Amino acid sequence: MKKSKALDFLRLAEEYFKALQFLDQVYKDKVPDISQINTMDDFKKIKKHPGYPLLFEMINVKLFLARHSLELVLKSFLLHKGVNISELKNRKSYHHNIEKCYYSAKKFGLNIFKNSEEIRVKVFISELNKYWWDKIYEYPNKLIKGFSKYYLEIIKDIFVYVRKDILHNKN
């Protein structure tokens, strides 16, 4: 039963992630890659890129899909490791807190990122979590948000690990 529920969550997470990948393909090669910004000069070059305005099209939808697919894949992992569904729904435990889900998943063995990469993952998850609690991508606002192709890679790496763990381990 536990594996079945974990797979249900994983399948739903994959639906959101596939939608996100589809949107990324629509804009592929049309927008600059903001993950390459390391200096102010890099930022100035990217602002001059003809696809710069496209970075902000569908940004709220992309962030929502990224955030929700990440929440569901982490919860599928936690379910597989024995965390009860009622605990995942509990506002005082996990609820929609992807930081809490991520750090708990790490305690259960989801340790796939190396040092500097792990720092970027933590920042990404922290930002997604903050935006969620503030309802940033559900309502009009003036906050400037960005979406990097690197985010897709982070989520994809987590998916690969979780899928393999659920399908190949009896936990």
- pLDDT band of residue 1 (cuts 50, 70, 90) is very low
Regarding predicted confidence, which is higher, 39 or 158? 158
Residue 3: pLDDT over 80: no
Q: What pLDDT does 63 receive?
A: 84
Least confident piece of the model among 2-16, 54-68, 86-100, 152-166 = 54-68
Q: Which structure tokens are listed for 118? A: 């792990």
> For 15-41, what is each residue's pLDDT tens digit?
999 999 998 888 877 877 777 777 888
pLDDT of residue 47: 83
The pTM score is: 0.84
Q: 2-26+58-168 is classed in which CATH architecture?
A: Up-down Bundle (1.20)
> How does pLDDT run across 46-97, given as a tens digit for each residue?
888 888 887 777 777 888 899 999 999 999 999 999 999 999 998 888 989 9
Q: What is the pLDDT of residues 110-139, one digit of tens each?
A: 999 998 889 989 988 988 888 776 777 676
In the predicted structure, residue 143 carries a pLDDT above the cut 70: no
Distance CA 171, CA 135 (A): 35
CA-wise closest residue to 104 among 128, 126, 76, 74:
74
Residue ranges of the domains in the chain?
A: 2-26+58-168
Alpha-carbon distance of 119 to 116, in angstroms, equals: 5
Rounded CA-CA distance 122/34 in Å is: 18
When pLDDT is cut at 50, 70 and 90, the band that residue 140 belongs to is: low
C-alpha–C-alpha distance, residues 155 and 161, integer Å = 10
